[in-house]
Every structure is written in C-alpha cells, then in structure tokens.
A and B are shown apart, each in its own frame.
Chain A
C-alpha cells in the first residue's frame, strides 16, 4: 500500500512539474525586476552599498533610551530602523537570487563548471536564502538591534556566494567575457520587458 501511495504522490508531483516545464520554455527569466537593470553584472548591490554599522548600530538608540521623555521618538526610531533592516535583508535576498541566476547563466553558456561546484553553489544559495529568511523573521519579532552578529554573517554569506558564484568567469578569456556580459545585459533587458 505504501508503494501505491508513493506512486500517486510521485505522479501528482511529476504532472505538476510537467505543467511548470511546459509553461516556461523560452529560456527567458520573467522574475527579474527593474532594480536589477542597474546591477553591473552579477548584482551584489546591497552587500556593497552601506557599512553594516550604519544600518544596525545601536548607539543612537541607546542614547534615546536614557531619555524617558523621548519614548515616542525612540519607538518611532526603532520601527524605522527595523523597516530599513528588513529592506536591506530583502535586497540581500534579491542579490542571492541574481547571483544564483548568473551562475546558471554561466553554466548554460558553456563555461567549464564541475558537478561538485554546482552542487556546492546550490547548497550555499539555499543555505543563504534560508538564513536570510530566518534572520528577517527574527528581526521582525525581536527588533533590529539584537542580531548584530547574525546580520554581519548574512552579509558575509552573500559576499562569499558572490565570490564563489562568479569564479568561473575568471577562467574565461577577455573577449568571451565581454560577450557574456552583453548577453547577460540582454537577458536582464528581456526580463524587464516580459516581467
């Protein structure tokens, strides 16, 4: 009976997959948005932009806490800062997605990658996305100032993924690299038109 139930489950899952595969067949990515048009080539925008302490530093908040008469200002500050951190984490997630897509784009364009490298990238990307989701939930619940270390780790994780993801590009001759950059920009532009 277990086998029959598994057969039914696999069949349902397989039919769903077939529908998904047949719906997207042209190879273009429909989920790229306008923000990614400004990404130079692999989109590590949110990682490189602001210093971490400017986002999650709690010096101002500590000063406000010493002044009970500024309670409403402190609460507003806390909410605003939480919104900024959540936005930053969202941007990091977008960066991970873009990096991951770029890696697949490189592999599809015939760059020499091994199965082990690919498995490692998939694992790292999934881990980074999971970690960022958990940190986002934690920031939403506990606030922006209690997870300084975790936020630093999140940034580090995306930076590592970035370095790892674009590593095959270093093995490519300059002329081919320019072609790849051009194709990637075209893909992004197509993504904007279709999405």
Chain B
C-alpha cells in the first residue's frame, strides 16, 4: 500500500478513538448503546488490521472483508438506535413509525432483493470475499430504513436534537454514498482508483460528523423531557421482565 494511503486508516482510528471517549462522557454510551458497540467494533477492527498488515499480510484481505461484513450487519443496530432515540416507547408516534417501517420493509425490501438477484446474475466476474451487489443493496436497504423514521419525524415536526440529527446526517450520507460507490465500481471500472477512495473518505466524514454531534449530550426535546421517574419506572419494568425470563429459563432447564 502506498504510504499516503495510510492517512485513511490512521485518521479513522484517531477519530473513532475520540468519538469513543466522547461517548463515554455524560452517559452517552448507555443512551446510544448500539452506536457505541458499532464504533467500538470499528475501532478494534481497524486497530487489529495494522499488525495483520505488518506481520501476516496474507491474512489481510480475508480479515478486512470479514470485519467489513460484520460491520455492515452492525449498521442495522445504528438505525435501531436512531429509531428509538426519535420515537420514545409507548407513544402514539412510536406505533405509527413502527408500522410505517414494517410497511416499507414488506414493500420495498423484496423489490431490493429482486433487483439484487437480477444484478448478481449479470455480474460476470468472481468476487473473492464480499459480493459488491450484496454490499450495494445492503447499504441501499439501510439508507431506506434510516430515511423512513427520519421522514416520519420530519412529517410530524418532531425535533431531533443535535445527537440524532448528526447521527442521521452522517450515517445517511455514508450509506448512500457507499451504495453509489459500489454501484459505480461495477459500471465505470476505469475510475476504480478513484472510487476506492470514496468510501473511506465518506466513512471518515461520518465519524467526524458524529464527533461533532456527540461532543455533548443534546437529545431531542421529547427525550430530554423524560424525567428520571420515567427512566426508573422503565428500569423497574425491565428488571421485572428480566427476572421473569430468568425464572422461566430456570424452570425450563
């Protein structure tokens, strides 16, 4: 790899570290647990790739693509964090947004699968690790899943707050650009050397936007309006459910 290209993993690692540090402040990690898991995974994944590249270069491609595949799946959790942040549980809007999400899943995702299937059959070259078609359509599906609650929030004028606005903006741009990037790789192959820089650049941009968004705890007014009483009530209910589940498991065993 050209020494200049190290600027991407190094800056990504630096920003991820900073972001993790900010997430550990003000209880942000407990309020956005899935996002924290995703960032932590990316941080550890990027960190581990350096020694692999140095000491076991043969393993690098396999390790890189396996980590990418896991990170791609973890991105669904980020969407879930956004959804839960925008629409607190037990509100009428939560139910409406949830049903809207289900309708979108049932309506659009089969179409995405069909398109992916048709496109995959027309790709004449073999890919070694992760199919570009899978990557393209997974990112597209994630973008649609993110935009659905964002649209419902916009429709009802639900104020997002800095945390969720940054989360939505950064992640939305990243998955959309990544999807276009992978699609472009299949069509305009002459620009491969440029296309391959686009996704890492957008990823770094996303982490930078998240860093700005999560520098301090600034939730949506709806979430901020939830008092400690509400949280403690939910906690009690959760503990009750947990103890019931454990009791059922013990009985089953």
Interface residues of A (CB under 8 A from B): 1-4, 6-8, 10-11, 14-15, 17-18, 20-22, 24-29, 104-105, 107-108, 110-115, 118
Contact = CB atoms under 8 A, between A and B. Distances in A.
Contacts of A107: 92-93, 96, 156
Given A4-B186, A17-B147, A21-B168, A108 B154 contact: no
Contacts of A118: 96
Contacts of B157: 27-29, 104-105, 108
B71 interface: no
A18 B144 CA distance: 12
B200 interface: no
A115 B99 contact: yes
**Majority-rule SS of B interface residues:** helix
Given A115-B95, A118-B96, A3 B118 contact: yes
B160 A25 contact: yes
A14 B119 CA distance: 21
Interface stretch (B24-32, B172-180, B227-235): B172-180
Contacts of B143: 10-11, 14
Given A107-B96, A108-B156, A7 B179 contact: yes
Nearest to A106: B92
B112 to A, nearest CB: 9
Please give me the 6 A-B residue pairs with the lowest Cβ-Cβ distance, nearest first: A27-B159, A3-B115, A3-B119, A115-B99, A11-B176, A7-B183
Interface of B: 91-93, 95-96, 99-100, 115-116, 118-119, 122, 133, 136-137, 140, 143-144, 147, 150-151, 153-160, 165, 168-169, 172-173, 176-177, 179-180, 183, 186-187, 221
Contacts of B176: 10-11, 14-15, 18
Contacts of B177: 11
Contact of A4 (B119, B158, B160): B119
A13 to B, nearest CB: 9
B155 A113 contact: no
B221 A11 contact: no
A114 to B, nearest CB: 8
A15 B115 contact: no
A27 B225 CA distance: 15
Contacts of B168: 18, 21-22
Contact of A10 (B144, B173, B186): B144
7 contacts: A1-B187, A11-B140, A20-B154, A21-B165, A21-B169, A108-B93, A111-B92
Contacts of B151: 17, 21
Contact of B169 (A22, A24, A27): A22
Contacts of B119: 3-4
Contacts of A27: 157-159, 221
Given A4-B119, A6-B115, A113-B92, A26 B140 contact: no
Nearest to B120: A3
A15 B96 CA distance: 24
A110 B156 CA distance: 11
A14 B186 contact: no
